[in-house]
Amino acid sequence: MSADTAANSTALRRRRAATAGFHLGAGALAVLWLLPIALVLVTSLRSFDDIAAHGLGSWPRSFTLANFGQAWSDGGQQQALINSLLVTVPCVLVTLALAAMAAFALSRYELPFRRSLLLLMLGGNLLPPQILLIPVSKLSEVMGVYDTLPALIGVQIGFGVGFYVFVLHGFMRSIPAEIQQAAVVDGAGPWQIFWRIILPLTRPALAALSALSFTWIFNDLLWAITVLRSDTKMPITAALIGLQGQYVSEWNVIAAGSVIAAAPTVAVFLRFQRHFVAGLNLGAVK
Amino acid sequence: MAVLTAPDRKSPARMPISGRRVRGPRRTPPLVLAFVLVPLLAEALWVFWPALQGFYLALTKWDGVSPPQFVGLDNFREMAHDDVFRSALGHTVLWLVLFGGLSAVLGLAAALLLQQERRGVGFYRAALFLPVVFSLVATALVWQAIYQPDGVLNRVLDAVGLGSLQHAWLADQDTALYAVIVPALWRQIGYVMVLYLAGLKGIDPALYEAAKVDGASAWQRLRHVTLPQLRSVNAVVLSVIVIDSLRSFDVVWSLTRGGPYHSSELLSTYMYSTAFQSLRLGYGSALAVVIFVLAFGVIASYLVRAFREAD
């Protein structure tokens, strides 16, 4: 065997070892991360008698889908999921529409104080929500919307919009001015420039932010328990805490409720994974 | 006629309309003004105005029914003697260090491992990232089941012969806070990893080639090439972590409500229970101001960076 081929085969062996090592390490990490999810899925499919007799941490000896029915109807998850969607969908649409409008005006026109306005709006979003909780709950009482879904929609839009303005501003700024100038020469007004030219070019950023904001708003707990009181109006996150109180130690039902609560955002993630990751990175100020 | 701004502000492109330059005061179309004002008003109503009230309420004593009573700095003086406040502040700092520090270090480690473009790496990345999309409440319930006295954690400890370590993890004052940090970390590491993955992708491979030619070891390449190149991402991660740490509420609230005996109390949970359960709205507002002060440095530096970028 010549020295050349010997060196080649050592390199090949070393590369194989590196590959095996990589999959071993990364695989172990992935299993560790997925284990709690697998556990909750298994628990949601066990019967209460099985858990009571053998313990929560035991190997499953039963299989049932009844827990989902119980969480869904008796546990109030159905109503809660409807509430969540009634809040989340309008919030995402209105927030992104408002943010796109403001970002368009601030990035494409020379308004006075535009940089200060942009930072003011971003700054509002960076505030710790705690400073707003008491005044916001009183404000919604004064406005007569306390304990209604519009109050939750309002505060979610008001608090979220600044961040999206900032991100979309960064994106729209990079659209070449020549495109817009050509439209102005053709006699297009601001609305046509916005609707026909800038908005279509911003679509990737809007897609990314939609996926991101859907999860954020859907997963919120703090604003919901600040402006809502009745159980029938709570979104799914707060309802899940209610379920935890209602079915103390009935882990099969609580697990089923958690699966129901997580399913919509997991679906959005799996469907729009690329947008999702892009959105997180758009949001990072570099 | 509005003047359009070119992306490069050094050379503002004036619009020649019908062969002549636009002169005189620049007028903004009313529609464009409305585009800014409507979102601004929405934010003013739900954020700026309440924030101002929040700062004022911190100087009052208020039960939410009778009108607030101005008491100056009394609320802040009371904090000095409030043991629960002091332990909540300590826990918040511990949370910042442990939750923040570990999610940064482990997120970077995961990114370094999973940056290699190999077959199957997409699956591993997705696995680490999946918990990010769960709500913190759902996350908390998943881990609550794990922590139960008859739960998986105690079973596993028993099976590997460490039965003496079995605990009621969430009910024990010594372990409750740490038991709450773990689920928060499980969810945060994937997020930080994504930020670092993007940062690592932006490093010029030629730098690594040059370091290799100079005989730098893998550790030296990490220490002298990767980490300095990640400086801007580090700044982002730091802001995200501090802001997220001070906001942490959901996971503690769902798991322990700050208990047992305030042993897992954070400023955010103490503020919430003071305001909405004890109905001490003035003192609660003062606690919120403390949270704001802690976050202020990071918010300011974030805005300064944004300001530079917006130019």
Pairwise CB contact (< 8 Å): B135 & A102 = no
Q: What average pLDDT does range A257-274 have in this prediction?
A: 90
Residue A158 CA to residue A81 CA, distance in Å, equals 23
On the question of pLDDT at A21 being above 80, the answer is yes
Residue of A nearest to B286 (CA): A131
A229 and A147 co-located in one domain? yes
Q: How many angstroms from the chain centroid is the CA of residue A150?
A: 20
Mean pLDDT of chain B: 85
A40 and A82 co-located in one domain? no
A92 and A233 co-located in one domain? yes
Domain B74-310: give its CATH code.
1.10.3720.10
Distance of residue A4 Cα from the nearest chain B Cα, in angstroms: 22
Beta-carbon contacts of B12 under 8 Å, excluding residues fewer than 6 positions away, are: A110, B3, B5, B6
Residue B25 CA to residue B33 CA, distance in Å, equals 16
Q: What's residue B159's pLDDT? A: 84
Pairwise CB contact (< 8 Å): A108 & B5 = yes
Q: What's residue B15's pLDDT? A: 45
Q: Where are the alpha helices (DSSP H) in chain A?
A: 3-44, 48-54, 66-69, 77-108, 114-126, 130-142, 149-173, 177-185, 190-192, 199-201, 203-219, 222-227, 236-246, 251-271, 273-282
Check the CA dihedral B103-B104-B106-B107 and report its sign: positive
Residue of B nearest to A101 (CA): B35
Pairwise CB contact (< 8 Å): B137 & A108 = no
Q: What average pLDDT does range B284-301 have in this prediction?
A: 91
A35 and A150 co-located in one domain? no
Count how many pairs of residues, chain A against chain B, have C-beta atoms within 8 Å: 337
Q: Could you tell me which residue, B311 or A136, shows the higher pLDDT?
A: A136
Residues spanned by the domain of A265: 67-282
On the question of pLDDT at B16 being above 70, the answer is no
On the question of pLDDT at B127 being above 60, the answer is yes
Q: How many angstroms from the chain centroid is the CA of residue B30?
A: 37
Distances (CA, A) of B286 to A128, A142, B51, B73, B307: 13, 22, 12, 9, 29
Q: What's residue B26's pLDDT? A: 58
A78 and A160 co-located in one domain? yes
Q: What is the dihedral of CA B65, B69, B72, B74, to 10 degrees?
A: -60
Distances (CA, A) of B178 to B94, B154, B164, B169: 10, 16, 19, 9
Cβ–Cβ < 8 Å for B155, A55: yes
A169 and A36 co-located in one domain? no
Residue B106 CA to residue A211 CA, distance in Å, equals 25
On the question of pLDDT at A1 being above 80, the answer is no
Residue A211 CA to residue A214 CA, distance in Å, equals 5
Which of B8, B31, B47 to mutate: most A Cβ within 10 Å?
A: B47
Return the CATH number at A209: 1.10.3720.10
Pairwise CB contact (< 8 Å): B36 & A117 = yes
- 10 Å CB burial of residue B235 (0-12, 13-18, 19+) is middle
Distance of residue B174 Cα from the nearest chain A Cα, in angstroms: 23
Pairwise CB contact (< 8 Å): B195 & A101 = no
Reported as a single tens digit per residue, the pLDDT across A216-234 is 999 999 999 999 998 899 9
Distance of residue A203 Cα from the nearest chain B Cα, in angstroms: 18
Residue of A nearest to B138 (CA): A258
Reported as a single tens digit per residue, the pLDDT across A51-84 is 888 888 788 888 888 889 988 988 889 999 999 9
Residue of A nearest to B45 (CA): A158
In the three-class reduction of DSSP (H, G, I as helix; E, B as strand; rest coil), residue B13 is classed as coil
Residue of A nearest to B112 (CA): A26
Pairwise CB contact (< 8 Å): B137 & A261 = yes
Look at residue A199 and tell me if it is in a domain.
yes
Residue A282 CA to residue A211 CA, distance in Å, equals 12
Reported as a single tens digit per residue, the pLDDT across A177-191 is 888 888 888 888 889
Pairwise CB contact (< 8 Å): B5 & A19 = no
On the question of pLDDT at A259 being above 60, the answer is yes
Look at residue A61 and tell me if it is in a domain.
no
B57: nearest CB among A123, A134, A251 = A134
On the question of pLDDT at A247 being above 60, the answer is yes
Q: What's residue A219's pLDDT? A: 92
Tokens for B169?
Answer: 């993890």
Q: How many angstroms from the chain centroid is the CA of residue B86?
A: 22
Q: What's residue B163's pLDDT? A: 74
Tokens for A36?
Answer: 């709690």
Q: What's residue B178's pLDDT? A: 93
Pairwise CB contact (< 8 Å): A126 & B4 = no
B47: nearest CB among A132, A176, A191 = A132
B5: nearest CB among A27, A109, A219 = A109
Residue of B nearest to A160 (CA): B43
Reported as a single tens digit per residue, the pLDDT across B175-192 is 899 999 999 999 999 999
Q: Which residues of B touch A255 (CB under 8 A)?
A: 141-142, 145
- 10 Å CB burial of residue B73 (0-12, 13-18, 19+) is exposed
A17 and A133 co-located in one domain? no
Beta-carbon contacts of B257 under 8 Å, excluding residues fewer than 6 positions away, are: B269, B273
Residue of B nearest to A131 (CA): B288
Q: What's residue B311's pLDDT? A: 64
Residue of B nearest to A158 (CA): B43
Q: Which residues of B touch A202 (CB under 8 A)?
A: none
On the question of pLDDT at B304 being above 50, the answer is yes
Q: What's residue B151's pLDDT? A: 83
> Domain ranges in chain B?
27-70, 74-310
For residue A90, what pLDDT band results from cuts at 50, 70 and 90? very high
Pairwise CB contact (< 8 Å): B292 & A128 = yes
Residue of B nearest to A178 (CA): B6
Tokens for B140?
Answer: 């908390």
Distance of residue A71 Cα from the nearest chain B Cα, in angstroms: 14
A218 and A259 co-located in one domain? yes
A71 and A123 co-located in one domain? yes
Q: What's residue B171's pLDDT? A: 85
For residue A28, what pLDDT band results from cuts at 50, 70 and 90? very high
Q: Which residues of B touch A241 (CB under 8 A)?
A: 137, 253-254
Look at residue A163 and tell me if it is in a domain.
yes
Q: What's residue B14's pLDDT? A: 43
A15 and A154 co-located in one domain? no
Residues in chain B, overall count: 311
Q: ∠A123-B191-B171 over CA atoms, to 5°?
A: 95
Pairwise CB contact (< 8 Å): A190 & B32 = yes
Tell me which amino acid residue A99 is: A
Pairwise CB contact (< 8 Å): B134 & A115 = no
Q: Which residues of A touch B254 (CB under 8 A)?
A: 221, 240-241, 244
Chosen domain end from A29, A44, A59: A44
Q: What's residue B198's pLDDT? A: 87
ipTM of the complex as predicted? 0.86
A240: nearest CB among B137, B145, B246 = B137
Q: Which residues of A touch B126 (CB under 8 A)?
A: 273
Distance of residue A229 Cα from the nearest chain B Cα, in angstroms: 11
Pairwise CB contact (< 8 Å): A261 & B138 = yes
A177 and A261 co-located in one domain? yes
A190 and A274 co-located in one domain? yes
Look at residue A51 and tell me if it is in a domain.
no
Cβ–Cβ < 8 Å for B260, B175: no
Look at residue A169 and tell me if it is in a domain.
yes
For residue A114, what pLDDT band results from cuts at 50, 70 and 90? confident
Reported as a single tens digit per residue, the pLDDT across B238-273 is 888 888 888 889 899 989 988 788 889 999 999 999
Pairwise CB contact (< 8 Å): A33 & B131 = yes
Q: What's residue A283's pLDDT? A: 66
Residue B298 CA to residue B304 CA, distance in Å, equals 10
**Counted domains in chain A:** 2
Residue A254 CA to residue A270 CA, distance in Å, equals 24
